[in-house]
Chain A
């Protein structure tokens, strides 16, 4: 019986416990983290249960909220596309929570901790809800919950965070309103808000201009939220100035959930025949992606702030996912979906490392990382794993999704996109080598008098275990995802790609 309720438990448990966090935190701040941990664990458990149920059932499972039939009520749908993403969201948010304890203690005043954890939990609730819902308007409401909590937890960061949070409010509202306009344009011509119902109703109306405009605004809205190239301007500032835990939470999850919504939109609400054949939507997305990747590479090379460099990297990674969508074939889309999950782990890895370095040294400038490998060897080891994965070195997961993306572009005969993909991998290698060089290699002159095993003044000064363990688990996750990517594709993602490909 409980297994039947998994889809809703994923979202509702963190929601109801987030109300407790605020009240309990008012009395004693120590209970905040355990409550959040319990909530997210139940979510993770339910998400794994849902994944199992989907595999056992062999297709999408519908859950009717309030027991109303879908076009009238709201339904939750779990299928092969969203369950792996749900599991990844819940897993990463638990790790970031464990990571957050010490980092937040250092970066925030004590009186703000209960509210911070309330918003943390609400944010994860929103992201999980976006992923699981099957109703276009419900998605909007959840998007707003996720965005509001994101505005708030970004705004309490260091100097400059408040202003970038305000810019994020403005951009985020444009994005959400554009999404709502898209829903409205589809609603006025179909009269329905349910995604599956829209999927059935829309083919008759594919030549209506209202549907085309609706889709365009959908894409713009989701694009702003996920930070693809021309709409990314809010992102680097916001994620750089946010507290390091917050960027470790939002950077991996929020943008990727946006990418998921885009795939839902293009292939569940609309049919592939509309978004690829009738109008050159995929073509346009491909060009935007290529431009975005080039732009992101150039901008990332110009940064000396570690977090800001990663932010531009996200813009590039979003471009990869768009390339997978734009190549419009089975291989490319497999790569895109796999890359959503892999990129969550990769970005979580990089941003937690940035947070750890920030915790110990209070500095993010990559030119001041000298001797860091003696000070924090494990942190830098994790960083190297993440870096190799982003560059695309075989045992790590980043290689496999990139492999599928490249195969997809070859099959679609989109040579420019292929060139961009390969070139950007090279640039990523340069990018990360720059950091590794600064952290690992020692200047020649000083090396001479430190021949007996290290500079005397630099001793081991690693971050506490509560930060190391999540980082190591993420690094292990990257390697395991890489090793088992064949299994994941064969049993899950293969079925997530629409059948018409």
Chain B
């Protein structure tokens, strides 16, 4: 069990982060806190993907041109996997965009109802 945790600790951490984010999204009454929970949720996913790309002993996935001509001899095992990094660049952008839209919505909501508490807004809407 301990070996299971230690050898995959990144994945355990990401699941704990997802737990926190998910709880924040579901349970918090304040819409801004919900948004923060959503951000934690998204960044947890990014941690997960970047963990997939890691390789023990791997270096950054950028070739340096100074050291002779190392291009031909490079083996896949020497570099970390660049694909998850690329995917996560996309996910980061998506996260930023979601936050932007949600913040704009929150500004409108606050202007219209004068509060960000969910139950108060629902009460206001019922009226």
Contacts and interface: CB of A to CB of B under 8 A. Distances in A.
Interface of A: 137, 141, 144, 148, 151-152, 155, 159-160, 162-163, 165-166, 169-170, 173-174, 176-177, 180-181, 184, 187-188, 193
Contacts of B106: 166
B102 interface: yes
B31 A166 contact: yes
A209 to B, nearest CB: 13
Contact of A162 (B38, B108, B122): B108
Contact of A170 (B34, B45, B113): B34
Contacts of A174: 22, 25, 41
Interface in B97-127: 97-98, 101-102, 105-106, 108-109, 112-113, 121-122, 125
A371 B12 CA distance: 64
Contact of B108 (A155, A170, A181): A155
B112 A177 contact: no
B1 to A, nearest CB: 16
Contact of B98 (A141, A148, A181, A187): A148
Given A162-B108, A180-B91, A184-B49, A173 B101 contact: no
Given A159-B112, A162-B105, A166-B109, 11 more contacts: A141-B94, A148-B97, A152-B101, A162-B112, A163-B122, A170-B38, A174-B41, A176-B94, A177-B45, A180-B91, A184-B45
A68 to B, nearest CB: 13
A310 B94 CA distance: 31
Contacts of A144: 94, 97
* Dominant secondary structure of chain A at its interface with chain B: helix
Nearest to B108: A162
Given A163-B109, A174-B25, A184-B45, A169 B102 contact: yes
A180 B125 CA distance: 34
B87 to A, nearest CB: 6
B90 interface: yes
B54 to A, nearest CB: 12
Nearest to B39: A173
Nearest to A164: B125
A181 B45 contact: yes
Contacts of B22: 174
Given A170-B38, A177-B45, A165 B105 contact: yes
A165 B25 CA distance: 15
Contact of B48 (A162, A170, A184): A184
A177 B21 CA distance: 12
A199 B110 CA distance: 48
A162 B107 CA distance: 10
Contacts of A181: 45, 48
A193 B90 CA distance: 15
Contacts of B49: 184
B109 A162 contact: yes
Give the top 8 A-B pairs by smallest Cβ distance, nearest first.
A162-B108, A166-B105, A169-B102, A144-B94, A162-B109, A160-B125, A188-B52, A173-B38
Interface of B: 22, 25, 31, 34, 38, 41-42, 45, 48-49, 52, 83-84, 87, 90-91, 94, 97-98, 101-102, 105-106, 108-109, 112-113, 121-122, 125
Given A141-B90, A162-B112, A177 B101 contact: no
A174 B42 CA distance: 9
B52 A184 contact: yes
B20 to A, nearest CB: 14
Q: Which of B38, B41, B42, B94 has the most CB of A within 10 A?
A: B94
Contacts of B83: 193
Nearest to A137: B87
Given A155-B108, A160-B125, A166-B109, A173 B45 contact: no
Given A162-B109, A169-B105, A177 B98 contact: no
8 contacts: A141-B94, A144-B94, A162-B109, A163-B122, A169-B98, A177-B41, A180-B45, A184-B48
B112 A169 contact: no
Given A148-B101, A170-B38, A177-B42, A187 B52 contact: yes
Nearest to A151: B101
A252 B31 CA distance: 29
Given A148-B97, A148-B98, A188-B52, A155 B105 contact: yes
Q: Which of A148, A160, A170 has the most CB of B within 10 A?
A: A170
A159 B106 CA distance: 14
B62 to A, nearest CB: 19
A169 B39 CA distance: 12
Contact of B101 (A137, A141, A169): A169
A173 B38 CA distance: 8
Contacts of A137: 87, 90
A148 B99 CA distance: 11
B125 to A, nearest CB: 5
Nearest to B38: A173
A165 B101 CA distance: 10
A176 B105 CA distance: 19
A177 B112 CA distance: 30
Contacts of B48: 181, 184
Given A144-B94, A162-B112, A166-B102, A173 B125 contact: no
Contacts of A180: 45, 91
A68 B24 CA distance: 42
A187 B42 CA distance: 18
A152 B112 CA distance: 17
A173 B108 contact: no
Nearest to A172: B98
